Amino acid sequence: MLIRISLIIALVAGLATAGINLFTVRNKIETLKTERNNERAEKEQARTELASTRQQLDQTTAQLKKAQTELATATKERDEAVATAETQTRRANQLNDELNKTRQERDNAQAELAAWTALGIPVQQVKEVVALNRRLLEQVDVQKEEIQALIRANARLTNELARILGGGDYVVRLPAQLRGKVVAYDPKWEFVVVDVGEANGVLEYGELLVSRNGQLVAKVVVRTVEKNRAIANVVPGWKLAEPVEGDEVLPAHPAS
């Protein structure tokens, strides 16, 4: 009997403990459900906020791209405006210079006209005198060129005559101030082409020294002379190096 009572008590105590545990478990389950529901709500809120943030970011990105495009357009328009302003400024300066030049020419013409008028000479006669003066000046220029050509021909003939009369002892002298450059060199036939000629006082059989950086390269003797260039052969035994384009040439026997 005592054992039965003990078992009943133990059973009641177990049921009470189980009831307490069940109550505790229920509370925990309810708590977990509540926490789960809260987390779901927070997650949904976070998703909503994330979507909103992404939308704002997309809007901001679109606005930024639009602003960049507008800035690039504005920069281009500014650069074009600056370039146009610079062009217009240069053109305005050019026109101003031309205007000043025209005014100066007008003032000079008016002064000349006033001078002729003071002399009592009609305008038509002034025009004829000016035209005649222009023609005379042109004739003078032509005559100067002819005189220079005659001087060069005389120098050439004088040099040729002196060379013939003087034989092998005659030395052709070239202008002391003569300076030129080698423009071509033929290593096979040993001749150079220089950029000075009869107009500079070069004469046939005149000798030139070819130098580079102050150092002697070769000595050449002129064989063919044209108005603005000459061809000269390298003197045997006088080539210390190969002449090249740009080497300087000067008289070997300058005139005193």
Tell whether 55 and 36 lie within a shared domain.
yes
Tell whether 186 and 240 lie within a shared domain.
yes
Would 54 be classed as within a structural domain?
yes
**Res. 215: pLDDT tops 80:** yes
Give me the number of domains the chain comprises: 3
Tell whether 103 and 6 lie within a shared domain.
yes
Q: Predicted confidence band at 158 (pLDDT cuts at 50, 70, 90)?
A: low
How far is residue 68's CA from residue 61's CA, in Å, rounded to a whole number? 10
Name which residue leads in pLDDT, 217 or 31.
Answer: 217
Whether the predicted model's global pTM rises above the 0.75 cut: no
Would 256 be classed as within a structural domain?
no
Tell whether 111 and 7 lie within a shared domain.
yes
Q: Which pLDDT belongs to residue 217?
A: 97
Q: Which pLDDT belongs to residue 103?
A: 82
Tell whether 37 and 110 lie within a shared domain.
yes
Instruction: Point out the domain boundary residue: 104, 119, 134.
Output: 119
Tell whether 140 and 154 lie within a shared domain.
yes
Would 96 be classed as within a structural domain?
yes
Would 125 be classed as within a structural domain?
yes
Name which residue leads in pLDDT, 132 or 253.
Answer: 253
Tell whether 53 and 67 lie within a shared domain.
yes
Query: In a 10 Å sphere around its CB, with 0-12 CB exposed, 13-18 middle and 19+ buried, how is residue 174 labelled?
Result: buried
**pLDDT tens digits for range 79-106:** 786 777 677 778 878 877 887 888 888 8
Q: Predicted confidence band at 15 (pLDDT cuts at 50, 70, 90)?
A: low
Tell whether 108 and 163 lie within a shared domain.
no
Domain, as residue range, for 153: 121-170
**pLDDT tens digits for range 160-205:** 666 677 666 788 899 999 999 999 999 999 999 999 999 899 999 9
Q: Which pLDDT belongs to residue 228?
A: 94
Name which residue leads in pLDDT, 133 or 210.
Answer: 210
Name which residue leads in pLDDT, 59 or 82.
Answer: 59
Q: Predicted confidence band at 159 (pLDDT cuts at 50, 70, 90)?
A: low
Tell whether 24 and 88 lie within a shared domain.
yes
Tell whether 233 and 128 lie within a shared domain.
no
Q: Predicted confidence band at 22 (pLDDT cuts at 50, 70, 90)?
A: low
How far is residue 191's CA from residue 230's CA, in Å, rounded to a whole number? 10
